[in-house]
């Protein structure tokens, strides 16, 4: 929100996803992203353990739930921390760019992948 290009990014992004955030500020969420008071309170007061989030498109919004706790191997795919990014780069260099080639190694499925090959 404080970036020099934030206005441009916000204007060009038609659909936004807001995860629970007890530190959410009214200025950032209501003024910049046009959340209503009810939407803002959902973001600020919802516990992350509920696995729910707010999806807003123009003036429409919904609350959605996505529970990936039964799929811990896939969490690594969705994580964008520096260590996971470097691991993905290393695996793509080793096994090629196609996800079918490197994804089994990232997710720990390599034995299943080798049996299928």
Q: Whole-angstrom Cα distance, residue 15 to residue 34?
A: 12
Q: Is 36 within the bounds of a domain? A: yes
Enclosing domain of residue 53: 6-65
Q: Using one digit for the tens of pLDDT, what is the confidence trace for 13-32?
A: 899 999 999 999 998 899 88
Check residue 97 and give its pLDDT.
96
Both 10 and 55 in one domain: the answer is yes
For the residues of 83-114, what is the DSSP string, one character each? HHHHHHHHHHHHH-SSHHHHHHHHHT-HHHHH
- Residue predicted with more confidence, 111 or 91: 91
Both 43 and 78 in one domain: the answer is no
Q: Using one digit for the tens of pLDDT, what is the confidence trace for 38-75?
A: 999 999 999 999 999 999 999 999 999 999 888 888 88
Q: Using one digit for the tens of pLDDT, what is the confidence trace for 81-91?
A: 899 899 999 99
Cβ(20)–Cβ(43) below 8 Å: yes
Number of domains in the chain: 2
Both 10 and 61 in one domain: the answer is yes
Check residue 49 and give its pLDDT.
94
């Amino acid at each position: 929100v404080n970036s020099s290009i934030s206005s441009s990014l916000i204007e060009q992004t038609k659909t936004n996803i807001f995860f629970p955030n007890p530190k959410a500020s009214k200025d950032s969420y209501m003024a910049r992203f046009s959340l209503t008071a009810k939407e803002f309170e959902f973001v600020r007061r919802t516990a992350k353990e509920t696995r729910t989030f707010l999806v807003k498109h123009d003036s429409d919004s919904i609350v959605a739930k996505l529970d990936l706790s039964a799929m811990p191997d896939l969490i690594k795919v969705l994580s964008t921390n520096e260590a996971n990014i470097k691991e993905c780069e290393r695996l793509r260099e080793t096994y090629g760019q196609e996800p079918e080639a490197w994804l089994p190694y990232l997710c720990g499925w390599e034995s299943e992948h080798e049996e299928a090959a």
